[in-house]
């Protein structure tokens, strides 16, 4: 059994190597996966017909919360099982957001507008409420499916009331509620409180040109960008404008990486019908706390910002070799 695996996924080589007859490769090109039975990847590998047509692959595990790098329709037609790791990095992203909020005026009495209340957004909502923030929630698909979950807010309400706006939606380009360029000129032109705007979801959820216009025209007071359009070749203008600028590492905690690896291994164990599940080569983290205190938010977001701003050409290297930080409560 040949397994093609992204070399930057931690804690996974030892359990995969324990599989009888396993042959591991880090070659994720079309040639490398042609005779691979299993592909384990991250967001940087586009898994579609151009990579997979004619291959033996019947299982893709992605150690990420999202699947927008995988052509799910193609995989369904080709009989390829796809597994991801929803929520694995939610505490780390919450930590990144609340670190940015701490550095721009603190928590008490401020209003946080959250776009997307899935695994990441829902945890952030709980944590923000626990440290004294007011929270406005916008998630039209969730509102339609579970209208009683939150007191949902419209885009206009968030634009009028939020001191900080943070995005935690998947990237979608079609359907009833596409999120591509959700933060664009139309929304930014309605902002009333000159908010801090944060993107730690997917780069194209926010329109780079619109963010810059909003900042230059004074509609946005500050920008925090972890996910960029065109990664790893990011906009130098947006990098210069951003108060917080990090190389797509908002979710990069040690605990989050362990969770992601274990979730992929769980799915693979089930797919293979193993009598005992494969176990990540690291201790499992403690349960995620329901609440946090301001003293729990110790991540130095400015240190990662200085690193990226000083050498943006090493964006991908900084991301791949990031020193995984601990989460609150771990």
DSSP 294: G
* 248 catalytic per annotation: yes
* 231 catalytic per annotation: yes
Cα dihedral sign, 225-173-135-298: negative
Q: Taking phi first (over 0 means left), then psi (-120 to 50 degrees means alpha), and beta for anything else, what does residue 36 get?
A: beta
3-state secondary structure of 302: helix
DSSP 200-230: -S-GGGB-HHHHHHHHHTTS-SEEEESS-TT
Q: Say which residue the tokens 């400015």 belong to.
A: 302
In sequence order, the β-bridge partners of residue 183 are 206
Instruction: Point out the catalytic residue in the list 202, 254, 319, 325.
Output: 202
3-state percent helix, strand, coil for the chain, nearest multiple of 5: 35, 15, 50
In whole angstroms, what is the distance from residue 33 CA to residue 56 CA? 8
φ/ψ of residue 247, rounded to 5: -90, 60
Instruction: Point out the catalytic residue in the list 248, 254, 259, 319.
Output: 248
Burial class (CB in 10 A: 0-12, 13-18, 19+), 295: exposed
* 149 catalytic per annotation: no
Q: Say which residue the tokens 């590492």 belong to.
A: 249
Instruction: Point out the catalytic residue in the list 102, 126, 213, 231.
Output: 231
In whole angstroms, what is the distance from residue 223 CA to residue 153 CA? 22
- Which residues belong to the active site? 202, 231, 248
């Amino acid at each position: 059994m040949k397994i093609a695996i992204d070399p930057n996924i931690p804690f996974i080589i030892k359990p995969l190597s324990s599989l009888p007859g396993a042959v591991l490769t880090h070659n994720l090109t079309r040639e490398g996966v042609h005779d691979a039975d299993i592909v384990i990847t991250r967001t940087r590998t586009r898994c579609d017909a151009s990579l997979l047509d004619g291959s033996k692959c019947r299982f893709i595990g992605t150690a990420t919360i999202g699947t927008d790098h995988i052509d799910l329709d193609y995989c369904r037609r080709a009989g390829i099982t796809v597994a991801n790791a929803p929520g694995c990095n939610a505490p780390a992203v919450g930590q990144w957001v609340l670190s940015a909020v701490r550095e721009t005026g603190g928590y008490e009495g401020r209003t946080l507008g959250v776009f997307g209340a899935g695994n990441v957004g829902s945890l952030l909502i709980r944590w923000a409420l626990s440290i004294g923030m007011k929270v406005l929630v916008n998630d039209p698909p969730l509102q339609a499916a579970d209208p009683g979950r939150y007191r949902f807010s419209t885009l206009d309400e968030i634009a009028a009331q939020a001191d900080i706006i943070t995005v935690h939606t998947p990237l979608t380009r079609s359907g009833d509620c596409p999120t591509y360029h959700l933060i664009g000129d139309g929304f930014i032109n309605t902002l009333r409180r000159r908010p801090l705007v944060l993107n730690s979801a997917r780069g194209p959820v926010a329109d780079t040109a619109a963010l810059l216009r909003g900042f230059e025209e004074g509609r946005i007071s500050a920008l925090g960008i972890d996910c960029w359009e065109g990664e790893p070749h990011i906009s130098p203008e947006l990098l210069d404008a951003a108060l917080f600028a990090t190389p797509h590492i908002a979710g990069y905690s040690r605990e989050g990486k362990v969770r992601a690896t274990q979730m992929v291994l769980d799915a693979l164990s089930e797919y293979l019908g193993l009598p005992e599940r494969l176990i990540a080569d690291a201790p499992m983290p403690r349960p995620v706390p329901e609440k946090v205190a301001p003293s729990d938010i110790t991540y130095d977001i400015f240190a990662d910002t200085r690193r990226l701003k000083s050498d943006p050409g090493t964006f991908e290297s900084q991301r791949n070799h990031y020193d995984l930080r601990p989460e609150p409560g771990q």
